[in-house]
């Protein structure tokens, strides 16, 4: 059981480049989310999804797009990378139908934009 798989682990981009961070889970979880973690700040929600075909914005959505075409996959797209998007990104999932369900996190993607 792989859990939540994020790729890549590390990425360096130049300003203006685009890329997609991949996230996949094999637990049939309905809820999936993307967070960014910056020094001195708590994790902040970028986008989330409550099921296939449904996405919504979180606290810091600007500069990012998501889609949820399948239950398993929830990719995060950076449209035109900026240095302010240098951060560590985490994908997480949980079974939203179960009240006492924990969050499952991927191992993170460390992104540097130069």
Partner 1 sequence: KNEVEQSPQNLTAQEGEFITINCSYSVGISALHWLQQHPGGGIVSLFMLSSGKKKHGRLIATINIQEKHSSLHITASHPRDSAVYICAVRPWGGSQGNLIFGKGTKLSVKP
Token look-up 């959505």 returns: 61
Of 32, 30, 29, nearest in space to 47 by CA:
32
Does 17 interact with partner 1 (rule: CB under 8 A)? no
User: Of 85 and 94, which has the nearer Cβ to partner 1?
Assistant: 94
Does 102 interact with partner 1 (rule: CB under 8 A)? yes
Q: How many residues bind partner 1 (CB under 8 A)?
A: 30
CA-atom Rg of the chain in angstroms:
13
Minimal distance, residue 85 CB to partner 1, in Å: 18
What DSSP designation does 84 have? G
Residue 36 exposure: Cα atoms within 13 Å on the Cβ side: 20
- Which residues contact partner 1 by CB under 8 A? 31-33, 35, 40-45, 48-50, 58, 88, 90, 92, 94-96, 99-105, 107-108, 110
């Amino acid at each position: 059981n792989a859990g939540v798989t994020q790729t890549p682990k590390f990425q360096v981009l130049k300003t203006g480049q685009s890329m997609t961070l991949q996230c996949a889970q094999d637990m049939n979880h309905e809820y999936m989310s993307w967070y960014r973690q910056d020094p001195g700040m708590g994790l902040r929600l970028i986008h989330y999804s409550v099921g296939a075909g449904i996405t919504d914005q979180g606290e810091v959505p600007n500069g990012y797009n998501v889609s949820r075409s399948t239950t398993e996959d929830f990719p995060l797209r950076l449209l035109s990378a900026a240095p302010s998007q240098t951060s560590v990104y985490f994908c997480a999932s949980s079974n939203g139908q179960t009240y006492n369900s924990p969050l499952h996190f991927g191992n993170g993607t460390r992104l540097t934009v130069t």
